Chain A
């Protein structure tokens, strides 16, 4: 085999890998729990809307959360049973907040809904994308970006390289490793499907060279299946080689900048688990309802389990037997994982690893010292950032400057905090600054919308006033004519009538008037006179029946107002 030329990314670190603890036992199936709590929002993008209600019976694989628009992904029942509730439950998120979940009590029959392979070869690309979205396929490396949005040949109509990411660089995690060893064919078939969908010229499967068994198993599968244009490449072991952009760089030399689509550069990257899920979804017609999860850390027997989404983490941890001094549960690895608010939170699509921690395994950080600008962090940063500058400005809350130093290019890999001799929790500062900037951005958008809507309303009010003035003017002309006929002079207010009369448009309903000022003046005068009977301004085109109803309500309202006044006189000011 031709030796592939590999590229390197700058920076990176080599932490203790701890992989041997969980990759010597085969993947086991985790039993169904007493209750599944399936969050509706499990991917990037819109929150799927619930399609079931409490009391409904669902079957395994049944759609329970419909995707909200295109940037969203469906959610399915992981087993058959009864929906107990659709309610907010604690989410697997550091915030400790709740979000809507579908709670299912399994009936034990684990009965599939009818499903059939998707004839993706004869479908249009848009239809295949819809099928993937409806099968709930999202990136299983942890980012949970909806996969259907990435299955896209890009501007050129074909990709140069499709990268399948089996690097798995985070310590402790071995779920991709074990899946590649035990189920390489599904992954290779999935990669072949993705290759065809993206029209990729070649597929490169990058696997860190500390997983020789996985590399061998995958190569054997490629041989067996005679898969074309798929190459298994062992890449040097260095955290974070499994970052999508880092792996693309290592395999192709292409650097995809932050905020750009990688397809624009002729590359795209999927996780091995995602490739497997794509194969299952299209060739078997099975939606994504479970995944392989590594349970490791402070446990007796670290191992990989196939877990149904919605299973409480504590049930899976119980299988691996957590040691008594365990004090935390982390979703993901030790470098980028997130602390969970409780062990009761459910396993979701993003859960590649349940890491049980203890004071001994992950000692609390030594006291933070000031930054000495030693530059270690900059040497370690795989994105070539200057972490200490970003830290300085994030800490001082000068967010604009932090952004100038490319805060949003930071992938939160933790390399900088890993090497910092002053033990500054650098990534915490970046997370803080990022969420603060997002919040401000949102606030600003909200303010802009409010401004726009306010201005729109002012314009509309102006227009309505003008319209009403026109109507009133028309009426006035009529009255004037009548009055003239009766020869009863000087009964009406002359100024009013004149002003209005001067500007009567032929069609009182037209929106544009040629002399708005006069109209407004007329309207104002009129309004003064008719204050008592003014009508709601924004309920145009109301039928006479409706008008009557309103009148009724108005009467009731008047009564109610009196009642209210009597009850709370102090409030009426």
Chain B
């Protein structure tokens, strides 16, 4: 068959997009390995394998061209996001199950590539944190990078983790605010504890910086637009600023919020998932701002290690509505719309 015009096409492909996303994760990943050890690489491998296996099985069952879709790289991106949001020393089956859930249930049962209304990685995270809250909050201590101990933690039958785990900065802050005596303030805790590093938690801040660099590169590569990261970070920072100005004793400041937990990953890699996110420019701003607001609320008042996953899923729900009401004006129709507004 001979196709119709246009006969020229840019050599862009879904695979190219996905590979660039993976490449953009590398700086953050490097910092991750440096501060938290190589266990994350094992998790990445496990999750990627699970994702590809799950993808292959689902494509075969749904009678889709297996190689075409398997090679598009979207499953691997999902796998990496699962691995990067999970504790690196989680038992091996956790990441695999989570990835399979993301691929099989959240992606394929909703129709496969391009059809899932929810972010698969975040849905998997929510499932696991509800199912295994204990395991999901066991993070290795910063600087504890002994690989064999970590391997034992991942694969070993008995997991004596107390020695190597440590509360994440977010957790630590919250726990101490709740448990310590009434005189404890955010400033005091952040300044005094070895967990908190310079701005966003020791080690964590460097990983976040890595994600930031990769994310900015993605924007420059036109894989993502500036709207979501900017709106997300700006909103998060704005709320944090207002809150910490109102009561500096209880609320952490903007820099801490932006550089800790999964905030940076969310800003550039999770909220920007095009399939489940808003698509119009204004819609993207609203969508990302919504995630930031919910993230802050859940982080501050909730009991979970981080709020990005729930926040993302909640905003995923609102996407159709947001998109519907934020359609950009079409060429030549800008005036009509103004007139419409002026009219009765």
Contact = CB atoms under 8 A, between A and B. Distances in A.
B114 A339 contact: no
A373 B332 contact: no
Contacts of A553: none
B2 A327 contact: yes
Contacts of A375: 225, 274, 279
A420 B4 contact: no
A425 B4 CA distance: 8
A367 B65 contact: yes
A385 B331 CA distance: 8
Interface residues of B, number: 43
Interface in B62-90: 65, 68-69, 72, 74
Given A328-B2, A422-B14, A372 B331 contact: no
B331 A257 contact: yes
B296 to A, nearest CB: 27
B10 A369 contact: no
A334 interface: yes
Given A171-B8, A386-B328, A421-B17, A370 B113 contact: yes
B331 A9 contact: yes
A409 B3 CA distance: 23
B12 interface: yes
B332 A418 contact: no
Interface string A39-59: 000000000000000000000
Contact of B6 (A10, A249, A335, A376): A335
Interface string A389-406: 100000000000000011
Contacts of A166: none
A339 to B, nearest CB: 6
B327 A334 contact: no
Residue among B279, B334, B336 having the largest count of chain A Cβ atoms under 10 Å? B279
Contacts of A255: 331-332, 334-335
B5 A376 contact: no
Given A365-B3, A423-B9, A384 B328 contact: yes
A366 B332 contact: no
B53 to A, nearest CB: 21
B89 to A, nearest CB: 33
Contacts of A335: 5-8
A9 B17 CA distance: 26
B93 to A, nearest CB: 30
Nearest to A359: B2
B3 A364 contact: yes
Given A245-B331, A245-B332, A425-B3, A372 B279 contact: no
A16 B113 contact: no
Contacts of A249: 331
A336 B330 contact: no
B8 A374 contact: no
A506 B74 CA distance: 89
A13 B10 contact: yes
B275 interface: yes
A19 to B, nearest CB: 14
A386 B4 contact: no
Interface in B1-34: 1-10, 12-14, 16-17
Contacts of A328: 2
Nearest to B72: A369
Nearest to B112: A370
Contact of B7 (A258, A334, A382): A334
A373 B335 CA distance: 28
Given A245-B332, A372-B113, A383-B330, A421 B14 contact: yes
B280 interface: yes
A417 B14 contact: no
A15 interface: yes
A563 B10 CA distance: 72
A260 interface: yes
Nearest to B64: A370
B9 A365 contact: yes
Given A339-B2, A371-B114, A421 B331 contact: no
Interface in A333-380: 333-339, 357, 362, 364-367, 369-376, 378-379
B72 A427 contact: no
A374 B14 CA distance: 10
Contacts of A370: 112-115
Contacts of B336: 257
Contact of A334 (B5, B69, B323): B5
B279 A378 contact: yes
Nearest to A376: B12
Contacts of A425: 3-4
B333 interface: yes
A409 B72 contact: no
B188 interface: no
Contacts of B344: none
Nearest to B225: A375
Report which residue of B14, B68, B69, B112 has the largest number of chain A beta carbons within 10 angstroms of its beta carbon: B14
Contacts of A209: none
A241 B14 CA distance: 28
Interface string A321-337: 00000011010111111
A94 interface: yes
Contacts of A376: 12, 222
A517 B225 CA distance: 75
B329 interface: yes
A270 interface: no
B331 A362 contact: no
A365 B8 CA distance: 9
Contact of A385 (B72, B114, B277, B330): B330
Interface string B107-141: 00000111100000000000000000000000000
A406 B274 CA distance: 22
A570 to B, nearest CB: 47
27 contacts: A9-B331, A94-B4, A255-B334, A328-B2, A335-B6, A337-B5, A337-B7, A338-B5, A339-B4, A339-B5, A364-B3, A367-B65, A370-B114, A378-B280, A378-B328, A383-B331, A384-B328, A389-B323, A406-B330, A418-B6, A421-B13, A421-B14, A422-B14, A422-B114, A423-B9, A425-B3, A427-B6
Interface of A: 9-10, 13, 15-16, 94, 171, 245, 249, 255-258, 260, 327-328, 330, 332-339, 357, 362, 364-367, 369-376, 378-379, 382-386, 388-389, 405-406, 409, 414, 417-423, 425, 427-428, 431
The 3 closest A-B pairs by CB, nearest first: A257-B332, A414-B6, A370-B114
Given A16-B8, A334-B8, A364-B1, 15 more contacts: A13-B10, A245-B331, A255-B332, A330-B5, A334-B5, A334-B7, A337-B5, A337-B7, A338-B5, A376-B222, A414-B6, A421-B12, A422-B114, A427-B5, A428-B4
